[in-house]
Amino acid sequence: MATETIEHFLDGLNLLVHPTKLKNTELQTLENMEVRPTSVSDTLTYLALTARNSYKRLHTDNLDFIAKNLIEFVQRVAGGSGTGSKFLVTGGYYSSNLVVKALLDAATTLTAVSTTASTDTGILSFLVFDQYLYYTDGNIAWRKWDGVTDAASSFVTKTKYGIKHKSRAFYANDVTNSLPNYLWVSDVGLPETVSASNFFVVGSQSDPIIGLEDQIERILIFKERSTWAFYLAPSLANSTLLRADEFKGIIAPLGHLWANQETYVQTSDAGLQKVKGLQYSPAVPQLWNFTKGFQNTLAALGYREDQLLISTFSTSAQTRNNRVFAFDLITDKLYQHNLSMSCFCSNRGISTFGKRAKAVEDDGTNRRIVEFDILTSVVEATVTCKARTKDFTFGGLEHRASLDGFAAEFSVPVTATVLTLKVYADGTLVETKTFAPTATGIQRHYFDLMLSLTSGYYHSFQLEYVQDATLAAKFALHSAVVSYTVEERAE
């Protein structure tokens, strides 16, 4: 008899290489679990794979529209008094109007910002400049809101996109004059004052601008088929435009964001990429893009501390989405939070504030602003958690292995829910075992397996637990050990 230790499962999602090449601490699948501290005594706390804490809704109102964007706006009172209010602002097309609504921090109902006659353009652009939040859908001229009063901007040229850079406002894709390759620049400190000569022609008119990204020392200009960098000079006329490397893929970028001193770009055919200097390079392994849904046309990008957030959205034809992933930019490791929602935020990203990620849930019938909060719960009544190990080849392919038993250490919040172990031999489910805990807290259990069922080349194990999301205590999986018998293979 020999034993194999599956150590602690804390390396998060694996690199999606062949299962036999995964480390023992890497999981083949990890659903509705997250890496978080877990107390196992009054004095000891350590990391474990823990049932996720779901999310919470911030208010009781339903949105009338499918949200096109989400931004956090801090109202700054003129004169620098240090007072103001914080809002989440979103909007979309509803009943022949562009509707914009805001949620005051800690409020339970929405505030109507404006309702303006428009058509459904599919976009909503925000630009924060001093005490104003500017917005447009590209079909109406820019408007501004200071947290109290909504009014028209003095800049009347209709453009689709805007950004603040070095005390100037930049507006791209001129709709009024049908010049989608034009970049307009405001005077210093005056976002609504744009001189008639303050424009730049960015490449071909047949290649429209579809987004802007402030990179502190420059602006990245995204077009449907090319990327440009704009370097602002002290004299506007001396500013420089440089064409960057082509983004990888043949489909225009769907989203982009500035995070950790790099710009990340998402396309539906090449997934996640990043821009260093003027060159594109893969942001994550291409296999992640494919298997995790990052190439989904409804994937969205966000940033939280040192983590790149990627949300995916599931339709009936997409089976690997419906989740939120956190890609750690320091360690290049990927974790998934598995929140069932779609996120529409700044440049189709996820808005963050105070270590929390906010988004708009849209399942077609229940549109709400929600907050991802890993410290508190709750919306869903239950959530199924799964942790699937790699495929083990006990003794190598020249031997035949039969499993004697599987021992696991875990924490359970209630005694009413059973822990299920599923055993796979050569990819086929061969045995299912359950354990009903008799006490809460740390538990250790040995699942006795049948040798006649579990023999094979490859063996893997899946642990399942249904978590009551209303409970503060969470299920946690700490470690596991499998015992097995090896004999020479007779062909």
Do both 254 and 123 map to the same domain?
Answer: yes
Closest CA to 159 of 130, 127, 188, 131: 127
Give the H or E element holding residue 29: strand 29-31
Q: Which domain holds residue 242?
A: 56-379
Do both 322 and 275 map to the same domain?
Answer: yes
End position of a domain, from candidates 357, 379, 401? 379
Q: Tokens at residue 372, please?
A: 């991802």
Closest CA to 28 of 6, 48, 5, 50: 6
Whether the model clears a pTM of 0.85, i.e. scores above it, the answer is no
Closest CA to 258 of 239, 241, 276: 276
Whether omega for the bond prior to residue 378 falls within 30 degrees of 0, making it cis, is yes
Q: What is the pLDDT of residues 146-160, one digit of tens each?
A: 999 999 999 999 999
pLDDT along the chain (491 residues), means of 10: 70 70 80 74 70 77 89 77 81 96 91 97 94 96 96 97 97 98 98 97 95 93 93 95 81 83 86 88 84 80 83 61 77 72 71 79 74 58 83 74 89 92 92 95 92 83 88 86 78 58
Q: What is the pLDDT of residues 194-215, one digit of tens each?
A: 999 999 999 999 999 999 999 9
Do both 350 and 437 map to the same domain?
Answer: no
Do both 204 and 323 map to the same domain?
Answer: yes
Number of domains in the chain: 2
For residue 377, the model assigns a pLDDT of 44
Q: What CA–CA distances, in Å, run from 124 to 18, 39, 121, 159, 265?
A: 42, 44, 8, 11, 19
Count of residues in the chain: 491
Do both 39 and 83 map to the same domain?
Answer: no
Do both 308 and 264 map to the same domain?
Answer: yes
| Torsion over CA: 376, 380, 382, 385 (sign) | negative
For residue 44, the model assigns a pLDDT of 58
Closest CA to 283 of 251, 260, 250: 260
Do both 271 and 349 map to the same domain?
Answer: yes
